[in-house]
Amino acid sequence: MKYLYCKKKPDTTLDFDVAVVGMGVAGLYCALNVDPKLRVVIINKFGEEESNSIHAQGGIASVTLKEDSVENHVHDTLIAGAGMCDEKAVMTLVSEGPENMVRLSDLGVPFDKDAQGKLSITREGAHCCNRILHCGGDATGKHMTDTLLARVHERDNITILDRAMLIDIVEGADGGVAGILIEKDGENILVNTPNVVIASGGIGRIYRNSTNAIAATGDGIAAAMRAGAAVENMEFVQFHPTAMIHPGVGGRYFLISEALRGEGAVLRNRRWEAFMKDVHPMADLAPRDVVSRAIIMQMQKYDLPNVYLDITSKSREFLQKRFPTIYAECMNYDIDIAVNWIPVIPVQHYFMGGIKTDLDGATNVPGLYSVGEASCTGVHGANRLASNSLLECIVFGRRCALHINQNNRPQHTPVLPEPQDLVPCDLDLHTLRSQIRVAMTKKCGIIRNGKDMGEALGLVVTMKEQLAGYDLSSVKGTETVNMLTVAEAILSAAIARKESVGAHFRTDN
C-alpha cells in the first residue's frame, strides 16, 4: 500500500470491528444492517448536515405498482446505461429494491402518500412508467438521511466521529486491511479495524460547477487507490441538465429536480421553443446525457448563458405542495415558478465510476468495501438512470453489511508507515484547487476531445509533482492531493476511451 504522508506516529489508537467512512444514506444504512454485536464507527469529515444524500431531491426508484415490473426497471436502467451496465448487478439492484422499501418504511422513512393513504409514485426521465417514491415532495434525501441518522443514534454499538478526516487505509502484516489513519481535532488517530467501508460519496468538487456537497472531493476513492483497490468506469461523469444558474452557499449549485419534467415541465430556449422534442423521442424525459448535450448546443448556437425550464402549466397550489423546496429556493431569487421560467444550466452531479466492487460491496483488497457513489458496482454503466442512486445506496449498503456479518475478519496487526521529514507547505492550495476545477470543467466536461484532456492531464501531473515532499496534513492539503489523484484517474480513463458512449462524449472520435 502507498501512504499519503506520516509526520509522526498516531497520538491515539481506537479499536472497532467495522469502520464506515461517510455518513450519507449508503453509510448509515450499511451501519444499521451490521450485526449489533459488532462495534461500528462512522467517520464523517464535516457535520451531520453535509452529505450528497441530504441534497437528493427527486426520490428513490423501485417497482411498487402493478403496471410496472422488475423487467421494465431493468430495461430502463440498461438503456440509460448505454450498454455499459453489469446486467447481474442491475438485476440485483432492481429485484431487491421493493423489500428494502419496506425496511425503510419500518425504520420510519416518511414516504409521501396520496389522499387514499397509498404511496405517491411519480415518474422521471428515461423511466417508462411511474416508479419514483419521494418524501416531503422534493426533499427525499434529507428525510431519508434524517431518519436513518436518528436510528443510528439509537444504536449502542455505533459511534460517530464527527469532523474526522480520512487520511489513509492501513495495511495488515498479513495483507489486506488492518485499519485507517484519520485526523481529528489536530490529532492523528489510528483506528484498528479489519473491515473498512468507503461510503464517502462522489467527486463533484473537482469541477467548478456541481450540485455536490463541499465534502465531495473524492477522498475515499483516492485513499482506496493508494491502498491498491481497483477502480472502474472513471471516465463516466454525469452532468445534471437543470441546476439554478446561481451558486449557493459554499459554491454548491441548487438542483432543479428531474421530477419537474416528470410532472410536465418543458425546456425552452429564449425563442420560446421547446427544443427537446426535436432531439429525442422521449423529449424532455430523455436520458440525462442527451438532455445535457442538447442544452449545451442550444447555449452555443444562440450564444446563451442558460436555457429555461417551464413548469407554468401547473398551479401554484400544486407546485407548493409537490415541490416545496424548489418553490421556496426559486422564490429566494424572485422567481415565481408558477408564472416564471426557471433559468437553468447543466452542472456536474454524479459519478458513475469509482472503486470496483462485487455484489456485496467487496473490493480486491481483503477487508475493504465500498458502497454508494464512491463505489462502482456496474449498475449505472455509462449514464445513471434517475433515482437509481439512492436505491444503489440502500440495496448494496445492506448487502455489504450482511457480507461483513457472515465473513467477519480477525483483526490484523497494522503496518504503519515510517514518519517522514516533510517541508511545511507554503503553496497556495486555494489557487491549485481552483486550477483543478477550471481544467476539469473546461477540458473534461460534457463535451470532450483528446487534445484538451491531454493538456488537463499534463497540468494535473505537474501539480502532483509540485506537492511532493510537503506537509499536507491539513484538511485542505489532504483534499487537494485526493482531488489530483481522482482527476488524474478520470482524465486517463477518458483519454483511453476513444469512442463516445453515454456521459463520455468526444468530438474527435
Q: Which residues are catalytic?
A: 288
Query: In which residue are the cell numbers 430495461 written?
Result: 75
**DSSP character for 278?**
G
CA distance 435 to 429: 10
CA distances from 249 to 219, 246, 279, 457 (A): 21, 10, 34, 30
Q: In sequence order, which ranges of 126-185 are alpha helices (DSSP H)? A: 140-153
CA distance 441 to 443: 6
CA distance 97 to 428: 46
Helix (H) or strand (E) holding 181: strand 177-184
Q: Is 496 exposed, middle or buried (0-12, 13-18, 19+ CB in 10 A)?
A: exposed
Residue 318: all three cell numbers together: 400544486
Q: Is 138 exposed, middle or buried (0-12, 13-18, 19+ CB in 10 A)?
A: buried
CA distance 39 to 194: 11
Q: In sequence order, which ranges of 228-364 are alpha helices (DSSP H)? A: 259-262, 288-301, 316-322, 324-332
CA distance 166 to 227: 13
Look at residue 83 and give its three-state secondary structure. coil
Cβ-contact 244, 238 below 8 angstroms: no
**DSSP character for 208?**
S
Question: Are β-strands 368-370 and 132-133 bridged in parallel, bridged antiparallel, or unpaired?
Answer: unpaired
- From the list 262, 255, 184, 236, the residue with the least C-alpha distance to 373 is 236
In a 13 Å sphere around the CA of 227, the CA atoms on its Cβ side amount to 35
Query: Residue type for 235, please?
Result: E
Cβ-contact 409, 366 below 8 angstroms: yes
Beta bridge pairs of residue 179: 170, 192
Cβ-contact 354, 221 below 8 angstroms: yes
CA distance 67 to 69: 7
